[in-house]
Chains A and B, each alone.
Chain A
Amino acid sequence: MKRQITFLISVFLLLFFSAKSQTEQSNFRLQFVPMFGDSIATTSGIVSAGNNNYHLSKCRFYLSNFQFFDADQKLISTESQAYLLDIEDPQSLIIITTKPKNATYIMFGVGIDSINNVSGAMGGALDPTKGMYWSWQSGYINVKLEGNFNGPHIKKFEYHLGGYAGENACYNTSAFIPISDTLNIGVSLSEFLNLAEAQETFKIMSPSATAAQLSKVFAALFQPLNP
């Protein structure tokens, strides 16, 4: 009996404190939407955007270091967690976190920063069993994008973007994105693919200057969608 009372008191205390902390922070839902032009990108079938047709077989990427800013674009808080987003796992495209009450802008890292690339084994989204780590040379693969350009000739593409050292560093931050209570962020894959196709880059499997350049392009694809 005494034990049960203690237990109840503990539960009340717990509820009390968690409720209190929520007055300064509120839950915040971010939905990421990979896009081909105006259509939502999927891995099933061929998608057209403008004059171009694509077949996508893989789209996975890391986001990390979510930062919240106030109306004057002053940093309020940073959340160092990394998330692995995978188009084949719709749940992974939704990030639920807490935001400080006065947050007006958000900015996040696209990829894994250099510190986390040199600090040894890590768990969760960063566990190497997730298949986003090179084995023969240390480093996370920030982005895996694979499929075909279905033009007059079918042309395979395979982009594994990553690398953390020097000029080949592939970690970038997104633009400042104004936020509301929930936020949908589009990821314009067709923009990326059109550019890569135009410069005749079809395959990237290791860190390089091209990987670094295309990583900048990829980080710029994240833009809020009009509701």
Chain B
Amino acid sequence: MILGFGALLIAASHTWQSKPLKLTYPDSWPKPAYDTARNPLTEAGVWLGRNLFYDPALSKDNTISCASCHLSFTAFTHVDHALSHGIDDRIGTRNSLVLINLAWNKSFMWDGAVNHLDMQALAPISHPDEMGSSIAEVVEKLAPNPNYKMWCFQAFGDSNLTGEYVLKALAQFQLTLISANSKYDQMQRGEITFSAQETRGYDLFKANCNSCHTEPLFTNGSFQNNGLPLDSLLGDTGRMMVTKNEADNRTFKVPTLRNIEFSKPFMHDGRFESLSQVLKHYQSGIEASSTLAKELEKNIALSETEKIDLISFLLTLSDKEFLFNTAFGYPKKK
């Protein structure tokens, strides 16, 4: 009888548990940096996070959601704006980053100011030029909402929305944004072969770019100065703003090149509009300075055909399945 009572209790405490989710990615990839043991993914957790991601209530005047700057069909970056636009149309000082394979990121933002995916959302929510609110205000606004109460209960077994749950749910949704089915990935799996041009481009890439934009994630997560002349108006010193160390002056996090076809404009301030402008920079625009990356001290020599070859390789990193995945889109009510 007592045993029966105990079993009932256990059963009751488990009914809220939603279906667990596992991050799926190619076997050849490294282990994710994100520790999912501390925030186990569930269907309900991802659903809650997806709703938060698309909810303009996260901004002070209810006009801007995360998706306003990170659109799914443009690899979760802000199209057509060099610098991201937030509330009151104030312009932030940096180009929005793509949200791809975030589970492998060791740090966040162009300067690595954020150390964990969970904590990243605090920055846009509180930034006066972005959403202009605060996590306390967001929780106060959303907690009474019956939908959020229900989703929060389904995700965490507790209907009281807290800052912790908001951040963990947003992280859960963003962890599912995995891009691993580009032409490049299909070639790696032996499902297709590259054209002669793409193969030549791939070889050029491995010779000149792979040391920083390292396969298979197309970033090594390090901070480097790739020789962009300082924009005197913005005066952005990158990583040095966090470490206050002169050796980090003008270094920025190496961005992934996955889905690069869709994430223009390029660089931390969005100064380049096209991939050929980017290649022109690596070819002849590099500015020498004490923190310039060693590999880039000599300009990268590329002929006109080599440039086209390299671009044709970069286009193999586009993953249509990722870009148009409806599971990442605006959540239509279930």
Contact = CB atoms under 8 A, between A and B. Distances in A.
Q: Do A and B bind each other?
A: yes
B115 A118 contact: yes
Counting contact residues on chain B (CB < 8 A from A), the size range is 20 to 34
Interface in A72-126: 117-123, 126
A17 interface: no
Contacts of A208: 244
Contacts of B115: 117-118, 138-139
Interface string B51-68: 000000000000000000
Counting contact residues on chain A (CB < 8 A from B), the size range is 20 to 34
Contacts of B2: 6, 9-10
Contact of A131 (B114, B136, B164): B136
Interface in B19-52: 35, 38-39
A127 B122 CA distance: 12
A149 B162 CA distance: 37
Interface string A132-143: 010111110000
Contacts of B171: 120-121
A153 interface: no
B150 interface: no
B122 A135 contact: yes
B5 A136 contact: no
**Main SS class of interface, B:** helix
A119 B163 contact: no
B116 A138 contact: yes
B225 interface: no
Contacts of B119: 120-121, 128, 133, 138
Contact of A120 (B38, B127, B134, B162): B38
Given A10-B5, A135-B126, A121 B113 contact: no
B144 to A, nearest CB: 15
A133 B5 contact: no
Contacts of A117: 115
B293 interface: no
Contacts of A21: none
A129 B126 contact: no
A135 B162 contact: no
Instruction: Choose among A117, A118, A127, A129 the residue with the greatest number of B CB atoms under 10 Å from its CB.
Output: A129
Interface string A1-29: 01000100110000000000000000000
Contacts of A126: 164
A135 to B, nearest CB: 4
A121 B127 contact: no
B42 to A, nearest CB: 16
B117 A137 contact: no
Instruction: Choose among B35, B113, B171 the residue with the greatest number of A CB atoms under 10 Å from its CB.
Output: B113
Contacts of B164: 121-123, 126-128
B1 interface: yes
B139 interface: yes
Interface string B144-172: 00000000000000000011110110010
Interface of A: 2, 6, 9-10, 117-123, 126-131, 133, 135-139, 208
10 contacts: A6-B2, A117-B115, A121-B164, A128-B119, A129-B163, A135-B123, A135-B126, A138-B113, A138-B114, A139-B115
Interface of B: 1-2, 5, 35, 38-39, 113-119, 122-123, 125-127, 134-136, 139, 162-165, 167-168, 171, 242, 244
